[in-house]
Structure 1
Amino acid sequence: MCAAALCSFAGTASAQPSSPVGLPGTVGADVRLKLERDGKLTVTEVVSVPEGKTAKRVVPLRIAVGDNRDRVFDVTDASVEGNGSATVAEDELTIALRSGTSTVKYTVVGTVAKIGDTLELRWQPASGWDTVLDSVKVSVITPDAPKSVNCLAGAPGTSKPCTSADLGDGRGVRATEIGLPAGERIDVAVGLQDGAAPANARVEETSGLAAAFALTPATGIGLGGLVVLLLGGLALLWYLRGRDARALASDVGPVNVLVTDPSGRVAFASPDGVLPGQVGTVVDEHVDVVDVTATVVDLAVRNYVWIEEVGERDWRFARRNPADSSLSGYERAVYEAVLPDGVDSVLLSELRGRRIDLTRVRDELYADVVARNWFVRRPDAERSLWWWVGLAVVALGVVGTVGLALISGPALFGLVVAVAGVGLALGARWMPARTKRGAALLEHVRGLRGYLHTASPTDIPEQDREMVFSRSLPYAVVLGETERWLGTFAGGRSGLYWFGQADRSTDLGRFAQRFPHFVGALDGVLAQAGHLRSLR
C-alpha cells in the first residue's frame, strides 16, 4: 500500500509492446515501465490518436506531498517516435500528439522512496491528458520480484482503485483502467524487495526558511557561478601579483650600487633612483613610520638637516639648507613636518609634545610611487575601493537574503552574493599590484639588501667610506639592516659630516652604539604624534 502523503505517483512497463486497446475513434494508451537496478525508471507510452484529433498530456514534475513539501522528479531523454513532440521545461513534461500511433519514451529519476521499512516505486503512468482515454494498460518490470501493487484511478486525491491490478506471474505488475476522463490520473505504487534499487526520491520544502535556503538546480547554478567568480578572482590576482611572486621567488642577480665616477671616486647609487622612503612603500605597499624615519636620516645625509646628540636621551634637528626643487614632494613634506617655516632647530623631546600631521607625507609618498610608475594607482586607494565594494556587495547580499527569505524565494542566491562580497572585502588587502617596473624594482631591492649584508669597508677606498656608509645608512634603516650595517663600519674612527655630539667628538664606534636608540626614539615620536599607522 502507498503512504497517504506520497500518493501522487507510480508506473508500469511490459516486456513486449502491444497496441493500445480502445474503441474506434477513441484514444488508448499502453504504458510500459521498467525500473533499472540503478534506480532510473524508463517509460514507454504507446498512444493511439484517432484521425483528425489531437491529444496533449502535461505531467507536473513537482507534486505536493504535505504541508510546504513537494516531491520532485527529474525527466530526461524525452522523445517521440511518430506524429508529435515531448518537451521538459519548468517542472513539467509536455507531450503533444497528433493522429496516428506514437511511441513516447523518457527516463525518470526520483520514483523510488523508502516509506518506513518498505521500498516503494511510484509513478503516474497516465495523468494530465486533455482528452478521455478509452483504455489504459499499464505494466511494470522491476529488478526483483515485486512484493505488492496498489493502483488508484480518478481525480487527484481520490482513492478509487483501478479497474484491475495484480502481480501477474510474480515477475511484474499489470494494471488496467477502462475509461479515464480528461484531467484524471492513474497512480501506481509497487512494493519492492530490499535492495532492488537505491532510494532516490527527492522532497523539497516549498515555504519557510528551509525552502528559502534549499539547494535547488537554480541555486546550484548560483553556487557554481560563485565558484567560477572566486576562481576568476584568484586568476586575476595571480596575473596581477604574479610579477611580484616571481620577483620574490627568483634568484637575485648582482645589483651594483657602487659606481665610480671619471675621477675614480666611488659613490652609492640606489636601483632605479629609489629613495629610502619609497623603498618601504614599494616593498609592503604601505606608508609606515620607518619610511619617514629613514627619510629624516637621508635628509641629514644630503645636508638638508643637521642631527646632534644632546645628552644621553635627546637629539636636536637643525636646518642646514632650505628645501629646494631637488626634494620630492614627500621629502619636502617630511622636512616641513620636522622643521616648519620659522623654526631653525628643534629637540626630539619637543617634537614629542607637538602634534605632527603626517597626512601630507602619506599622500605625497603614495602619489610619488604612482608618478614613478611603480604602481598604477595609489595602493591605499585600491585597497579602500575594493574594501567598500566588498562591503556594498555584502550589504546587497544580506538585504537580498532577508527579502527572499520573507517571500520564501531562493534566499540562497542572496547568501551567495553576501559570501562573494566577504571574499572581495577580505581580498582587498591583496589588490594593489605593482607594475612591471615596480616588480623589477622589488627584485633590485632584494639585491640592495644583499649588498647591505655583504659589503665590506675594504671594498671602498678609504677616502670614500664615510660618504658610501652615510648614503647607504637610510636604506639599511628602512630595510631593517641598521645594526648589521653599523657593525660593519663601526671600526672606523673618523667623524660624520651630518651628525654630531654636543659634548664630545663623534666617532663611528659610539655612533654605532647610540644611533639605534635615536632611530627607535624617532619612530616612537612619529607614531605617537603623527598617528601614521592609523592612516595606512
Structure 2
Amino acid sequence: MGARLSFAAVFMNWGVAAATAAAGMALAAGQPSFPSPPPSAPSIEFPVPKPGPTGSATPPTIDPIPPSGRPGRPTRPPGVGQPVLPRSVNVQLKVERDGSLTVLEQVVVQARQTMTRTAPLRIGDRVFAVRDASVDGNGTAAVNGETFVMSLGEGASTVKYTVDGAIADLGDHLQFRWQVAGGWDTRLVFLRASLLTPKRGSNFVCLAGPSGTEDRCDSAVTDGGGVLRVVQSDLDTAARVDLAADLPAGLVPANARFERAGGAAGPFALTPLTGAGLGLLTLLLLGGFAALWLARGRDAKALVTEVAPVDLPAKDGDRVTFASPDGVLPGQAGTVVDEKVDARDLSATVVDLAVRNYLWITESGGDWQIVRRNPADDSLTSYERALYDALLPSGAESVTLSALRATPPDLAPVRSALYADAIGRGWLGRHPDSFGRWGVAGAAVVVLGAAATVLLALTGGPALLGVALVIGGVALMLGARLMPVRTERGSVLVQQVRGVLGYLREARPDAVPVADREMVFSRSLPYAVALGETEQWLTRFANLDSSADGTPGMYWYATQDEAAARDHRRFTAQFQAFLAALDEVCAN
C-alpha cells in the first residue's frame, strides 16, 4: 500500500525534484525488480554523462541522434534519474551470426493492471517471423497470424524470442530493421533498448511515435564497444519505436522477406499453382511450335518434290477420254496451288464452262459475245453457278465482253463461293485472309484470359493463370495465322496438280489420235489458263486441225469468218486477246 501511495505522490508532485527522487526510491522498493540479463547479452546500463564543473549533467556526444524536439516533452539526459517505473520496458537486441535476431524484453506492469503488445509482423511489404517465444513471469507470448502478441500481468516479466527477417541485403551493405516497441495497449512511461551486432554498425535511425511519422527518438547513442543504446520516454498507446542500422556487406546472412501486402502471395506472384500453369503453357507452346514447323515443312515439300507428269487424257478402247486427278476443276486447281482466288482462276472457269457446253463464245468485229448455251444444272459447283449467274443474270441470253468491261459484274460472291468450296473439300483449312477457327478460338481465349486476369487480380487470386491464358490465346492466333492455308489433303492435291502442270509442259499432240486432238486440247486449255501455261499450250497445238472432227473451228468458240475458223493459228492469237480482256473483267 505504501508503495502505491508513493507512486501517486510522484505524479502529484512531478515538478518537485525531491519528491521525484523519493517516489523513485519508494517504487524501487515496492515493485518487482528486473531479472538479471544473461551474461552474453549487452548490458542494460546506459552511459551516464559525467557532471560538469557545476555538478550538472552534460549531454552525450557519441554519435547522438537528435531528439524530436516535440514541444512539451522533457528531454532528460539518458540514464540520469530514471527509476524502475511501472509501464517501463527494457529491450536487449542481439544480431546473431546466422542473421537471426535474439530479443529479450523486460516489462514492468503496474499492480492490478495488464499490458498487451500486439506487434505487427508485416510492415508494408516486409514480413518478419517470430519463433521460440517464452515468458519468465506473469503472462504469455505467441504468434497470432501476422502479429506477435504479448499479454502480461502485474509485476516484472521477461519475454524472450527470436526474429527472422530483420536483415535485408541492399547490395553494398546490409540493413537491420526491427520495431523495438509497437502495439502496446497502454502508454509507456519509459523505454530503454540496446542493440549488439557482430561488428559496429552505422547510419543508425531511431524513429518514435505513430506509424508513418519521422519523429526521432529522445536519444540514441553508441558506447565505446559499438553497442547502440536508445532512450525513449512517454510513448503513446500504439506508438512504435522503429530502429534501423546499416551493417557491413556479408557480415551475416540476409533473411528479409518481402511479399505483396494483403496476402501471403500477390495475385502475380509465382506460386506452385501458377508455376504449374506456366509450365503447362510452355509445353503447349513447344507442342504448337513443333506442329507449325511440321505443317509448314510438309507444305513446302509439296511444292518442291519431284512429281511425274499426270496425263489428263485416258484411253477408252480406241478413243481418248479426259479425266482430271481427283476430279479437280481448273478454278479449284489454281486456287489450291497459290492459295488465292485470282483473275485467271475465274477466267479459266469461264473457259471451262464454254468447253463443257454451258456457254458459247463467239467472236465478232473485235469483240466477243458470251452466250447461254445450256442452263446451269446440278452438275455445276456452287462457285460455277455463281459465276454463270453473274455473267448472265436471269433472263439474259448473252452479253458482250465490252459491256462486261464497261460495267463489271460483282464477282465477290463467286470468290467467296470458290474459297468455301476449297475449304469444304478439305483442301484449304481457312480463308487466306482470316485466322480460321483456330484463330477465332485464340481470340476467345485472349478475351477469357484478360477477364480472368482482372477478376483474379481484384480478388487476390492467382492472376498469373489469366496472364498465361492471354499468352496462350495470342500464341494460338499467331500460330493460326502462320499455319499453311493448305491442309495435308490440299498438299497432296498440289502434288497432283503439279503432275498436271508437267503434262501440260511435255504433252505431244502427235501422241493423241487426230480425231481426239481438239477435245484433248480444249479440255486441257482451262487448266493451262489456271496454271499460267496458256501461251505454251497454244503454241504446242498451233498446227491443230480443228476440222478433223468433222466440223470446222472449235465447238465452243465461233467466228463469223469461215476461213478464220479453219486457221487455228488465228484462233491462237484471238483467244489470247479474248483472255486478256476477260482477265480484266475478272480482276474487278
TM-score where L is the length of structure 2: 0.58
Which position in structure 1 is the counterpart of 2:581?
Answer: 521
| CA spacing shift, 1:388–1:371, aligned 2, 3 Å | closer
Q: How far did 1:296 drift?
A: 0.6
Q: 1:185 to 1:382 in 2, by over 3 A?
A: same
Question: Structure 1 CA distance, aligned partners of 2:510 and 2:488?
Answer: 32
Q: 1:128·1:184 contact (CA, 8 Å) conserved in 2? A: yes
Which residues of structure 2 form unaligned runs of 5+? 1-38, 46-83, 108-113, 135-140, 153-158, 458-463, 547-553
Specify the alignment match of 2:170 in structure 1.
112
Q: What SS does structure 2 have at the residue aligned with 1:505?
A: helix
Is 1:247 the counterpart of 2:295? The answer is no
The CA deviation at 1:370 is 3.9
Question: How far apart are 1:105 and its partner, in Å?
Answer: 1.9
Q: Is the 8 A contact 1:316 1:346 kept in 2?
A: yes
Counterpart for residue 507 of structure 2:
456
Compared with structure 1, are the counterparts of its residues 32 and 480 closer, same or farther at alpha carbon in structure 2 (3 Å cutoff)?
farther
Alignment of 1:102-181 (within 5 A): 102-106=161-165, 109=168, 112=170, 121=175, 123-126=177-180, 128-129=182-183, 136-140=193-197, 146-156=201-211, 157-161=213-217, 164-166=220-222, 169=225, 174-176=228-230
Counterparts of 1:317-466 in structure 2, within 5 Å, are 317-375=370-428, 434-452=486-504, 454-457=505-508, 460-463=511-514, 464-466=516-518
- The question of whether the paired residues in 2 share the 8 Å contact of 1:151 and 1:165 is answered with no
Once residues 166 and 273 of structure 1 are traced to their aligned partners in structure 2, the CA distance between those partners, rounded to angstroms, is 98
Letter in 2 for 1:160: R
Q: Does 1:291 align with 2:351?
A: no
C-alpha spacing 1:388/1:262, structure 2 compared with 1 (3 Å): closer
Q: Would the alpha carbon gap of residues 136 and 192 (structure 1) be closer, same or farther in structure 2, given more than 3 Å must change?
A: closer
1:261 aligns with 2:315: yes
Q: 1:514 and 1:21 mapped to 2: Cα distance?
A: 115
| CA displacement at 1:299 relative to structure 2 | 1.0
| Structure 1 residue 332: Cα displacement | 1.7
Task: Tell whether 2:119 aligns with 1:57.
Answer: yes
Give how far 1:82 is off. 5.7
Alpha-carbon deviation of 1:486?
3.9
Q: Which residue of 2 aligns with 1:407?
A: none
- Asked which structure has the greater RCO (Cα within 8 Å, sep 6+), the reply is 1
Cα distance between partner residues in 2 of 1:272 and 1:507? 35
Per-residue deviation, 1:277: 2.1
Show the counterpart of 2:550.
Answer: none
Instruction: Show the counterpart of 2:545.
Output: 494
After superposition, give the CA deviation of every residue in 1:28-81 in whole Å (9 maximum; x if it has no partner): 76545589xxxxx9543546699x99864324443xxxxxxxxx54x59x5735
C-alpha distance in 1, partners of 2:166/2:490? 60
TM-score, length-scaled by structure 1: 0.63
Deviation at 1:432, TM superposition (A): 8.7
Letter in 1 for 2:305: V
Q: CA deviation at 1:349?
A: 0.2
- Secondary structure of the corresponding residue to residue 261 of structure 1: strand
> Residues 28, 481 of structure 1: CA spacing in aligned structure 2 closer, same or farther, 3 A cutoff?
farther
Cα distance in structure 2, aligned partners of 1:384 and 1:397? 20
Query: One-letter code of the match for 1:124?
Result: W
1:44 maps to 101
| Structure 1 residue 330 displacement after superposition | 1.5
Distance 2:182 2:528 in 1: 84
Shift of 1:493: 3.4
Distance 1:126 1:280 in 2: 83
Matched residue, 1:473? 525
Larger radius of gyration: 2
- Contact 1:152–1:162 at 8 Å: present in 2 too? no
Amino acid at match of 1:152: L
Measure, in 2, the Cα distance between the counterparts of 1:226 and 1:128. 41
Q: 1:86 to 1:317 in 2, by over 3 A?
A: farther
Specify whether residues 392 and 125 from structure 1 end up closer, same or farther in structure 2 by C-alpha distance, changes over 3 A only: closer
Structure 2 Cα separation of the partners of residues 355 and 33 of structure 1:
90
Distance 1:304 1:527 in 2: 22
Distance change (3 Å), C-alpha of 1:30 and 1:362: farther
Task: Determine the C-alpha separation between the residues in 2 that align with 1:264 and 1:42.
Answer: 101
Cα distance change, pair 317–178 in 1 and its aligned pair in 2 (3 A) = same
Cα separation, partners in 2 of 1:493 and 1:103, compared to 1, 3 Å: same
Structure 1: give runs of 5+ residues left out of the alignment.
1-15, 36-40, 63-71, 207-215, 405-411, 529-536
| 2-structure distance, mates of 1:362, 1:516 | 23
Query: Is the contact between residue 58 and residue 127 of structure 1 (CA under 8 Å) also seen in structure 2?
Result: no
Q: Where does residue 277 of structure 1 map in the other structure?
A: 331
Query: 2:324 corresponds to which letter in structure 1?
Result: S
Deviation at 1:281, TM superposition (A): 3.9
The code of the aligned residue for 1:276 comes to P
Looking at structure 2, the residues matched to 273 and 226 of structure 1 have their Cα atoms a distance apart, in angstroms, of 48
| Whole-angstrom distance in 2 between the partners of 1:446 and 1:98 | 90
In 2, the alpha carbon distance for the partners of 1:434 and 1:85 equals 69
> 1:210-261, CA deviations, whole angstroms, 9 ceiling, x for partnerless residues?
xxxxxx965688x999999899679658747953541223553536532633
2:527 maps to a residue whose letter is: Y
Contact (CA 8 Å) 2:521, 2:541: kept in 1 or not?
Answer: no
Instruction: Report the residue type matching 2:210 in the other structure.
Output: A
- Alpha carbons of 1:511 and 1:158: their partners in 2 closer, same or farther (altered >3 Å)? same
Q: How does 1:186-225 map to 2 (within 5 A)?
A: 186-190=241-245, 218=267
* Cα drift, residue 275 of structure 1: 1.6
Quick one: distance in 2 between partners of 1:53 and 1:324? 100
- Contact 2:325 2:497 (C-alpha < 8 Å) held by counterparts: yes
Q: Give distance in 1, aligned partners of 2:567 and 2:201.
A: 103
Contact 1:137/1:177 (<8 A) preserved: no
Name 1:80's counterpart in structure 2: 131
Contact 1:49 1:98 in 2 (8 A): no
* 2:240 is the alignment partner of 1:185: yes
2: CA distance, partners of 1:79 / 1:382: 57
Deviation of the 1:348 alpha carbon: 0.4
CA distance in 2: counterparts of 1:154 and 1:361, whole angstroms: 82
Q: Secondary structure at the match of 2:307?
A: coil
